Structure 1
Amino acid sequence: MALRIKSHWWNDDNARSLAEIGSALAFIAWRIAVDKAINLHCERFVYRDDAQRLQVIQEYLVFLIQVADRLAFGRFEDDDRRALITSFAKKCIEHLQDNSVDLLGPGQYGDAFVERLNTRSGEYADFELGTDGPSYAFLRHLGFEIQTLMGQQEENRWVIDQIMDKDGWDAYKGFAKAFGDLFE
């Protein structure tokens, strides 16, 4: 069943701040990331535990933050782009923190995500996002990072292919459409 994403504002007449748009993007990205993590399980890939599943969700969030930054480039001045992506990332951290506490118990989970985001931002900087979507290298990096998290056990051996051929593309397409819709 396809994930239904609500990406139009209820009242189109009101102007939205970049922080409000960033918050909406974070909610959409969280839903997409969770959906893709669930899809891996449905495709018979095996998670060791909830902590590992949350790590996969984080990789998708980092990927989608990179996508948002590329989509915002040229559409906004640098300061506005920075404000949008910062509010988006902060809301992603809030979603991650809340859900991690619910699943794993008390702790500070946002700091590790910020480290991951900073590291991956440098890694993704060399990859292109063109008008037709992310480059092969862009999707391969997402797949590689998730493959690394899930391990090389027999049942998870082909997870990189699933990410590159299907799930990564689906995540990109759903998010890019929602991103455009929020600015209509």
Structure 2
Amino acid sequence: MAIRIKSQWYQNDTAKTPKQTASTMAFITWRVAQNTLKQMRLAQFDIDIGAQYFAFTREVLVFLIQVLDRMAHDRMTTEERSEFVTALVIRVAEILQENEDTMLGIPAEGQTSHFDEFITLFNELADHYAEFGHDEAGPDFNFVRYLGHRIGNAHACQRSTLGDRPNLPQKYLKR
């Protein structure tokens, strides 16, 4: 299912800073991640609202930011790219924190904030995603496969109808 995304700036005649571009891309990235989540749920994957919902969302957001970083590499100077990615990660973390704090509550004093949790995950996975390829066609198979691996290992979602499918051999249904 397609989502509507505004593709032109309101004031098209002025140059945009990497930080302005990042702010806009953060919102679009959030919408794409939410649409991905919606499509997974429509495909009957059980992704309950709560910690599981946000675990899935965080993984998709990190993946999307990595793709945007690769695209920025091809279009921006090193300084612009650094400013863009830094601002993008911070703004996405802010949006995620607003939503997690609203849905799950603010973590207790002494616990890691949702903002810091996302930043830590992003920094951890940046080195992992750096090993995968990306070209003008987009991320390579291993890049996308790693996202699937991360989601699968985190048990962020499970297909709700898997046990009801008679055409699968029983050995695949064991957990």
With structure 1 as the length reference, what TM-score do the two structures score?
A: 0.80
Partner of 1:171: none
Separation of aligned partners in 2, 1:105 and 1:152: 22
What aligned pairs does 1:94-105 form with structure 2 within 5 A after superposition?
94-105=94-105
Change (3 A) 1:132 1:153: closer
Partner of 1:126: 131
Please tell me the residue identity of whatever aligns with 2:2: A
Please say if 1:72 is aligned against 2:66: no
Separation of aligned partners in 1, 2:37 and 2:142: 21
What aligned pairs does 1:1-184 form with structure 2 within 5 A after superposition?
1-107=1-107, 108-150=113-155, 155=160
State the SS of the aligned residue for 1:86.
Answer: helix
Residue-pair matches, total? 157
- Kindly indicate whether the alpha-carbon contact (under 8 Å) linking 2:47 and 2:158 is maintained by their aligned counterparts in 1: no
- Kindly indicate whether the alpha-carbon contact (under 8 Å) linking 1:72 and 1:81 is maintained by their aligned counterparts in 2: yes
Q: Report the CA distance between 1:153 and its aligned residue.
A: 5.1
Separation of aligned partners in 2, 1:151 and 1:115: 18
1:52-96 CA distance string (max 9 Å, x none):
111111111101111111111132221111001101111001101
Q: Percent identity?
A: 34
Separation of aligned partners in 2, 1:128 and 1:116: 20
Structure with a larger share of its residues in helix: 1
1:104-163 CA distance string (max 9 Å, x none):
011220111111101110110110011211111000001111112236856386xxxxxx
Please tell me the residue identity of whatever aligns with 1:115: T
Change (3 A) 1:132 1:74: closer
- Kindly indicate whether the alpha-carbon contact (under 8 Å) linking 2:45 and 2:158 is maintained by their aligned counterparts in 1: no
Unmatched 5+ stretches in structure 1 = 158-184
Please tell me the residue identity of whatever aligns with 1:65: I
| Structure of larger gyration radius | 2
Q: Report the CA distance between 1:44 and its aligned residue.
A: 0.3
Please tell me the residue identity of whatever aligns with 1:102: T
- Kindly indicate whether the alpha-carbon contact (under 8 Å) linking 1:44 and 1:155 is maintained by their aligned counterparts in 2: yes
Separation of aligned partners in 2, 1:53 and 1:104: 10
Partner of 2:173: none
With structure 2 as the length reference, what TM-score do the two structures score?
A: 0.83
- Kindly indicate whether the alpha-carbon contact (under 8 Å) linking 1:150 and 1:156 is maintained by their aligned counterparts in 2: no
Separation of aligned partners in 2, 1:42 and 1:149: 20
Provide the alpha-carbon RMSD of the alignment: 1.7
State the SS of the aligned residue for 1:74.
Answer: helix
State the SS of the aligned residue for 1:10.
Answer: coil
